[in-house]
Amino acid sequence: MHQMTKGANVDLFGLSTATGPFTVALSWIDPSGEGEADVSVLLVDAGGKVGSDADFVFYNQPATVDESVRLLGKTPTAVGSEDRILVDLDALRPAVERVVIAASRYADATFGALDDLRLTISDSAGEVLLTFDIKDADTETAFIFGELYRRNDTWKFRAVGQGYTSGLAGLATDFGISVDDGDEEEGDQAPARPTAAPGSARPEPPALAAAGQPADPTPPKGDDRPKRVRTVRKKTTVPKAVKVNLAENPSWQHARLFPVTGLRNDQEREVRATATLLAVMAQVPEFGRRLTARFNAPAGTIQTFAEASFGHGDGKVRPDGVLRVARAGRIWTALIETKTGGNPLKADQVEAYLKVAAKNGYETVITLSNDLALDNEHPLKVDKRLLRKVALRHLSWAEVAHETEMLCVHDGVANPVHAWLLSELLHYMRQDSAGCQGFRDMGAAWVPVRNAVTAGTLRLGDRRAIQVAESWEKLIRQLCLRLSGETGLAIAPVLRKRRDGDASVRRLQTVTSLVESGRMSAEIRIPNAGGPVLLEADLRTGQVETTVEVPAAARARPLTRVQWLLRQLKDAPHELRVEALAPKHKTGPCDLLKNLVNEPGLLVPEDSSQIETFRLTLATGLGTKRGTEEAGFVRSIDTAVNRFHQQILQVLKLDPAPTAEAKDASG
């Protein structure tokens, strides 16, 4: 891996022999947990300007018309979030000389408040080719991280690290974009016709195009384009499903396109899950593109096949699926190996598919299971010699569900039939009997480590504790994926300390906490929550605590600040613990909500000092078992977070600004 310094350049094709698009990833650590940043890309000609506004790729315009550049979106990592971009250099117009990679922050937030600003570039095999760290960020609200540029017959990368204090609008203007930077959010209304709910009367589906056939790529005429680009984020309104229910009895179940009944064994679950996913990918181009872009596939016509047979040695092998993408006379192919439930991937099986792929000139083998990859490492160890010609990539069912829900519920698709197909796929994956429920098993090390914590015999040298720490990271990442899909917000872990460059350091911290206190903890950034949400699982007491600190409303007296909070928490669990904190105080008056309802004065500090923040903590019983049962550890964490999010965070409305009363009092 090549470590870049500011101003340096390198030949991309000299770093990798793999063909296909590159993935550019921007990452950072937000120690406050209060903000985020967005990536953007500008396609620039020899004159240093964009050819048109269509050459500006950002959150309101996430791909170029020819799909040469596409934003892949944010994904939670073990230390925060990562924003990824797919760049297909072969698909760029000849007039494009430079591909500028940038990022911008919201409102008045600056990049100096973020830690470990980093750019990485990976080839189509998923191998990280280079990294570039920006260490001098200060008051900038936008940053050019780097640029890919033509030089003779090759493409190079230059580490730029140039900041702007004028935000995304200022950066875009410098490259010839006409910006309409009004304060009003622009509405982006989806088609008015509603999507029919499953089981209700539905219109006849329109004739479907050939499987995965993309829409006509002809760009709109210049006269039809908006004259100015809006950098204010659009509001997307997804049409609501019709809610008419004609069932006479609650026991009646809607007929489903992808039923889970009749699945008798693991093999049948794998066959049906694979066929269901691949069929939807082929029929819903937006969805198929979202998933194939993760593996650096080109944009094009998608076709999928189930259980194709290939000769291997003296016999035959039968991958669960084959995925093919055609573009400009080239065909990209991936073999797919699927596991459902708690079934692990098998090295000999995957290695056989890698050999078949190499023999047939295929690009990739994709594994799909309920396990999650950490730190861009495949969860299965295979012979690395087999990866010289074929890429091995992994996808979790949790990631599939996340992409499905984001597209179906939040981003929307133009065709209502496609929206219905996505909703049916999402319903299928949510059924326990489908075996696609995501990470649910803490692993074989869980029970002995749990017992050692209870007995007080766990020590730092126990390798099983490291395995539990890895499972904890997977659980937190999946939790962020699920919450992001449900809310449509960018939810990610928060790391308070700078990156040490080694995941083993993070896991050792988790093991140390287990040894010393019997606890595992993580912080999660949820927008509009007031602050990061702290999640602490205490194996000794058998409880998991969820905590958030929210700013108090700007009221003149401490008691009115308490009453402001209690009015909003009238339906919250009575066992909620509420603590009032004065400025620069780590502790303060504390009591249960059930006692505060009638005596709010219990939270007023004895010296009548002003209350700056409230600390809210809710304890939930902790499951101890390793597996998928209701009493399992993973399910209890999900239950605790759901309870806190739905009953506390979603009902709290933070005070946007000081009131006149407070201003007079402070005046």
pLDDT for position 232: 63
Rounded CA-CA distance 240/138 in Å is: 43
Assign domain 266-434 one CATH number from 3.40.1350, 3.40.50, 3.30.43, 3.30.160: 3.40.1350
pLDDT for position 499: 53
In which band, very low, low, confident or very high, does the pLDDT at 227 lie, cut at 50, 70 and 90? low
Cβ neighbours for 406, distance < 8 A, ≥ 6 positions apart:
73, 484, 485, 488
Average pLDDT over residues 517-527: 94
pLDDT for position 659: 41
Average pLDDT over residues 466-483: 95
Distances (CA, A) of 440 to 72, 79, 369, 645: 26, 21, 11, 20
377 pLDDT higher than 70:
yes
Rounded CA-CA distance 76/477 in Å is: 6
Rounded CA-CA distance 254/628 in Å is: 26
Q: Domain coordinates of the chain in residue numbers?
A: 2-181, 266-434, 446-649
Nearest alpha carbon to residue 326 among 305, 287, 298: 298
561 pLDDT higher than 70:
yes
Rounded CA-CA distance 181/231 in Å is: 6
pLDDT for position 116: 87
593 pLDDT higher than 60:
yes
pLDDT tens for 605-626 read 988 889 999 999 999 999 877 6
Least confident of 221-225, 339-343, 489-493, 649-653: 221-225
Average pLDDT over residues 527-535: 91
In which band, very low, low, confident or very high, does the pLDDT at 236 lie, cut at 50, 70 and 90? low
pLDDT for position 8: 96
Token readout for 444 is 């074989």
221 pLDDT higher than 90:
no
pLDDT for position 530: 87
Q: Which amino acid is at 596?
A: L
pLDDT tens for 84-131 read 999 999 999 999 999 999 999 987 889 998 888 999 999 998 899 999
306 pLDDT higher than 90:
yes
Average pLDDT over residues 324-344: 94
Average pLDDT of the chain is: 87
Least confident of 396-410, 469-483, 617-631, 643-657: 617-631
Distances (CA, A) of 576 to 508, 647, 654: 32, 10, 18
pLDDT for position 277: 98
pLDDT for position 625: 75
pLDDT for position 210: 41
666 pLDDT higher than 70:
no
Distances (CA, A) of 16 to 121, 123, 149, 449, 642: 11, 7, 17, 42, 44
pLDDT for position 12: 94
Rounded CA-CA distance 404/557 in Å is: 48
Token readout for 617 is 């903590």
Least confident of 154-158, 259-263, 427-431, 638-642: 259-263
Average pLDDT over residues 339-352: 95
Q: Which residue has the higher pLDDT, 355 or 223?
A: 355
155 pLDDT higher than 70:
yes
pLDDT for position 661: 44
Average pLDDT over residues 251-255: 88
Q: Give percent above pLDDT 70 in the chain.
A: 86
pLDDT tens for 198-209 read 343 333 333 334
In which band, very low, low, confident or very high, does the pLDDT at 254 lie, cut at 50, 70 and 90? confident
Beta carbons of 196 and 241 less than 8 angstroms apart: yes
Token readout for 452 is 């050692």
Q: Which amino acid is at 535?
A: L
pLDDT for position 581: 95
Q: Please identify which residue in the block is written with the tokens 């699982």.
A: 537
pLDDT for position 340: 96
Average pLDDT over residues 537-565: 94
**CATH topology (fold) of 2-181:** Lipoxygenase-1 (2.60.60)
pLDDT tens for 34-88 read 667 899 999 999 999 999 989 999 988 999 999 999 999 888 887 778 899 999 9
Rounded CA-CA distance 194/367 in Å is: 36
Token readout for 422 is 């996505």
Rounded CA-CA distance 600/45 in Å is: 65
pLDDT for position 263: 83
